[in-house]
Structure 1
Amino acid sequence: MDETTEPATKTPLLGSLHPDTEVAVVSVRVDPEAFIKQHNALINASFNLITLEMRLFVSLLARIQPEDVSFQYHFVHTKELIPERSGGAIYQEVRRMVDSIGAQMLKIERLVEDGGKLKRRKNPNYEVIPLMARVYYDTQAGGVIACFNPLIVPYLLRLKANGNFTSARLNQVRKIKNPYGHRIYWWCMEWVNFGRNERTIELEKLKFMLGMTKGEYEGRFNNFNSKVLLRAQQACAETDLPFSYRVNRERGVPVSITFHFQLVASEDKVATKTPSESELAPPWEAALLQAGIGKASLPIIRAQLAAQEYDEGYLHYVLRITEKQQALGKIKKSAKDYLYKGIIEKHMLEDYLHQALPAVPVKVSPSLAVQNRPRVVFQYWEVEGFYQDEQKMKRTAETFPEFLERKYLAKGFRVVEEGSKMFVVREAQERPAP
Structure 2
Amino acid sequence: MPRRSRWLVLAAFALLVSATQILWLTFAPIARQSRDALGVSEGAIGDLAVINPLMFVLLAIPAGRWLDRRFGTALAAGALLTAIGAVIRTVDTSSYQTVFVGQVVMSVGQPFVLNASTKVAARYFPPLERTAAISVASAAQFGGILVAALTGGALMGAGGLGLVLGLQAGFAVAAAAAVLVAVRVPASYALGATGETSLRWLRRDPLMWRLAGLLFIGVGVFNAVATWLDTILVDLGHPGVAGTLIAVMTVFGVGGAAVLPGLAARHDRRRALLVATTLISVVAFLAIAVALALLSGVLFVGVLLALVGFVLLAGLPMALDWSELESGPDRAGTATGFLLLAGNLGGVVVVLIVQAALGNPYLAMSAMSAVVVPGLLLAARLPRHARSHIDDDRRWPDERVKPASVPW
TM-score tier, shorter chain, comes to: under 0.3
Q: Of Structure 1 and Structure 2, which has the larger fraction of its residues in helix?
A: 2
Q: Of Structure 1 and Structure 2, which has the larger fraction of its residues in strand?
A: 1
TM-score, normalised relative to structure 2 = 0.24
